[in-house]
Amino acid sequence: MAMGEKSDLLMKLSEALAARADEAKSSVAAIGSARGSLSGVLWRNDVLVTSAQSLPRRESYDVALPNGQAQPATPAGVDVSTNIAVLKLATPQQAQPLVGRVPKAGELVSAYGADSAGGVSVRLGTVIAVGDEWHSLTGGRIDKRLGLDLRLSRTEEGGPIFDMTGGFVGMSTLGPFRRVIAIPASTLERIVPVLLNHGRIARGWLGVTLQPVAMPEAFRQETGLSAALMATSIKADGPAAKAGVLAGDILVSVDGKGTRRLRDVLSRLDSDSVGRHIELRVIRSGALRTLSLTIEARPRE
Amino acid sequence: MNSAAAMAAHRARLCVAIFSSDPSRVSELSGIVLRAGYDITSDVDDADVVIADGSIRPPNHPAVIRLGDIDDRESANALPKSASPEQIGAAIQAVAVGLSVRVRSARSQGFAAASDVKPEFLLTPREIEVLEALAEGLSNKAIARKLDISQHTVKFHIESLFRKLGVRSRSQAVIRGLPSLSRTRFEI
């Protein structure tokens, strides 16, 4: 019997996966520079989205599309804190509309990558877990925690991930120990338009370096906290300096909410926080005191 | 083994040639190389290792360390401009015997979540002060004087530090404790 005549479940699955890949490949592109390439998502006719951590900073990139076309693209914006970089294509393409979807744990997803010769690669895996929003090391808010059980090479990072309904799960990103996560579609939808308009994400800024510390015994009961954040250095003329924060102050709450961890402060510094007045409770020389601070925009690096 | 590696094995002290278009950078690098215990040469053919900074095209040599202004920090034998004297010294030694070096970059760590230290392992502000004093090599007596506390209290803080860091000596405490402090600290 010829292979083509067989039609059991596995054959059908395999064929369906290949058909999905054929549909998805028009949404992936290779972004090349002299030192290799990474992958990107064709977000709109003239917009590519990719992984900021792996994109070398250049004036221009060589983009290879799966239809065999090659063309230059220019950087349009980057936000390291959510790992999103946006490029503008010189010649608009026919982009497939992306419909964002949050998958459930256990679902099958495919991650797509491209190489500079126009080839497309496909990886298959399950969604390991779906968690709540989280904050990156650099303070970016990611709407969902999406861990994926698949391997990805460096050149495949930044490409699109689709579920089996054709829903757009997000952009692939390498985490610690090369574990693969998705920057969710909802985070891209929130950040990409801002990057296209402004080139960066304005973030609230306090101008202080905070170190998590164990709460001194004497204040555990009064504050109800086992840990807090100590100011170790203050940026001159920054918001914290203007509010009178001193090195050595221990921050225990912002607007009455306990600051046990850095994310308790980070979560209050989104782009709409700029200009907002907040109240800080700090421990200084053994006594609690209140300082008021006006959040400013983080200065450009 | 290539010829440079063979030479390195026979010579008592490694010979380093330094290339930069900036004379002050050359003298700065020379100082680092000499303090690391190596000799300087101006002759590429005589050098075991060549150091070339980003301003210059490196000469043809089997053991070249490129320094600074390099776009891709993942390429072999390329150190950032900010490389420490210790890193430069260790790189010379490694490259001379035919190994290649690279800096552990932020990229190789991947995109990560803000990490939390379990509350029971967090240091108190006082313990941090004691740890920083240990890093300066101060004795218990000197720490007590500096922080205006009794020597008995200093001992108490050091014991607590050792327990939280899982170490048994003052030097281990510094080696383990200081990097973990800087990893959990944020400028926001």
List, as one string, the DSSP characters of A190-224. Answer: HHHHHHHHHSS---EE--EEEEEEEPPHHHHHHH-
- Partners of B155 in beta bridges: none
Judge contact between A160 and A38, C-beta under 8 A: no
Q: What is the pLDDT of residues A255-266, one digit of tens each?
A: 999 999 888 898
A270 falls in which pLDDT band (50, 70, 90)?
A: confident
Q: Taking CB atoms and an 8 Å cut-off, how many pairs form between chains A and B?
A: 96
CB atoms B115 and A137 under 8 Å? yes
Of the partner residues A137, A177, A178, the one whose CB lies closest to the CB of residue B113: A137
Check whether domain B3-108 has CATH 3.40.50.2300, yes or no? yes
**Nearest residue of B to residue A229 by CA position?**
B185
Q: Is the pLDDT of residue B3 over 70?
A: no
pLDDT band, very low/low/confident/very high, at A237 (cuts 50, 70, 90):
very high
Q: What is the ipTM of this complex?
A: 0.73
SS3 at position A61: strand
Rounded to a whole number, what is the distance in Å from the CA of B67 to chain A's nearest CA?
18
Give A-chain residues touching B66 at CB under 8 angstroms: none
pLDDT computed for residue B115 by the predictor: 66
DSSP result, chain B:
--HHHHHHHH-SS-EEEEE-S-HHHHHHHHHHHHHTT-EEES-GGG-SEEEEETTSPPPS-SSEEEESS-S-TTSTTEE-TT--HHHHHHHHHHHHTT---B---HHHH-S-BPP---GGGPPPHHHHHHHHHHHTT--HHHHHHHHT--HHHHHHHHHHHHHHHT-SSHHHHHHHHHHHHHHH-EE-
Q: Check residue A136 and report its DSSP letter.
A: B
Q: What band does B73 get if pLDDT is binned at 50, 70 and 90?
A: very low
Chain A residues within 8 A of B186 when measuring between CB atoms: 139, 209-210, 262, 266
Q: Which residue would you say has higher pLDDT here, B110 or A296?
A: A296
Which residues of B lie inside 8 Å of A (Cβ-Cβ)?
A: 71-72, 75, 106-107, 109-117, 119, 122-128, 181, 184-188
- How would residue B122 be classed by pLDDT, with cut points 50, 70 and 90? very high
pLDDT band with cut points at 50, 70 and 90 for residue A115:
confident
In the numeric block, which tokens belong to residue A43? 């977000």
d(CA A120, CA A131): 30
Q: Provide, as residue numbers in chain B, all residues whose Cβ is less than 8 Å from the Cβ of A235.
A: 187
**How deeply is A260 buried, as exposed, middle or buried, from its count of CB atoms within 10 A (0-12, 13-18, 19+)?**
buried
Query: For A119-175, what is each residue's pLDDT tens digit?
Result: 899 999 999 999 999 888 777 889 999 999 999 998 999 999 999 999 999 999 999
Span B154-188, pLDDT tens digits: 999 999 999 999 999 988 898 888 877 877 777 88
Three-state DSSP class for residue A240:
helix
Give the per-residue pLDDT at B1.
Answer: 46
Mean per-residue pLDDT of chain B: 83
Q: Residue B2: what pLDDT? A: 52
- pTM for the predicted model, two decimal places: 0.68
Contacts of B105 in chain A (CB under 8 A): none
Nearest CA in chain B to A134: B113
Strand-pair category, B15-19 with B49-53: parallel
Rounded to the nearest integer, the mean pLDDT of chain A is 92
Report d(CA A4, CA B46) in Å as an integer.
Answer: 68
pLDDT class of B106 with cuts at 50, 70, 90: very low
Q: Per-residue pLDDT averaged across A244-249, rounded?
A: 96
pLDDT at B107: 47
Q: How far is CA B12 from CA A52, B22, B38, in A?
A: 46, 30, 10
The predicted pLDDT at position B126 comes to: 93
Q: Quick check: B11 pLDDT over 80?
A: no
Segments making up each domain of chain B, as ranges: 3-108, 119-184
Beta carbons of B111 and A177 less than 8 Å apart? no
Identify all chain B residues contacting A263, using CB atoms and an 8 Å cutoff.
114
How many Cβ atoms from other residues are within 10 Å of residue B154's Cβ?
A: 24
Q: Using one digit for the tens of pLDDT, what is the confidence trace for B123-165?
A: 999 999 999 999 888 899 999 999 999 999 999 999 999 999 9
Amino acid at A204: G
Interface of A to B at Cβ within 8 Å reads 35, 51, 53-54, 56-57, 83, 134-137, 139, 173-179, 181, 205-206, 208-216, 226-227, 230, 232, 235, 248, 250, 260-263, 265-266, 269
Determine whether the interchain pair B124/A214 forms a contact, defined as Cβ–Cβ distance below 8 Å.
Answer: yes
Judge: A174–B110 Cβ closer than 8 Å, yes or no: yes
The tokens describing A95, both together, are 């982009």
Specify the pLDDT at position A5.
63
Show residues of chain B in contact with A269, CB under 8 Å. 188
* Mean pLDDT calculated for residue range A268-275: 86
CA distance A80 to chain B (A): 9
Q: How far is A39 from chain B (nearest CA, A)?
A: 16
DSSP alpha helix (H) spans, chain A: 9-24, 185-198, 217-223, 239-243, 262-266
Closest CA relative to residue A179, chosen from A222, A140, A150, A208: A150
CATH architecture of B119-184: Orthogonal Bundle (1.10)
Q: Which residues of chain A are within 8 Å of residue B123 when distances are taken between CB atoms?
A: 213-214
* More confident position, A191 or B119: A191
Q: Given this model, what pLDDT does residue A217 score?
A: 86
pLDDT of residue A3: 55
Contacts of A136 in chain B (CB under 8 A): 111-114
**Statement: residue A236 has pLDDT above 70:** yes
- Within 8 A of A179 by CB-CB distance, chain B residues are 110
Residue, of A263 and B55, whose pLDDT is higher: A263
In the beta sheet, which residues pair with residue A146?
A130
List the structure tokens of B106: 């932020």
pLDDT-based confidence at residue A299 (cuts at 50, 70, 90): confident
Residue-range domains of chain A with CATH = 3-198 (2.40.10.120), 204-297 (2.30.42.10)
Q: What letter does residue A10 receive in the DSSP assignment?
A: H
Mean pLDDT of A68-96: 93
**Residue A32 bridge partners (DSSP):** A37, A62
Alpha carbon of B82 to those of B34, B37, B38: distances in Å? 18, 20, 20
Asked if B122's CB is within 8 angstroms of A227's CB, the reply is yes
Question: Span B76-104, mean pLDDT?
Answer: 84
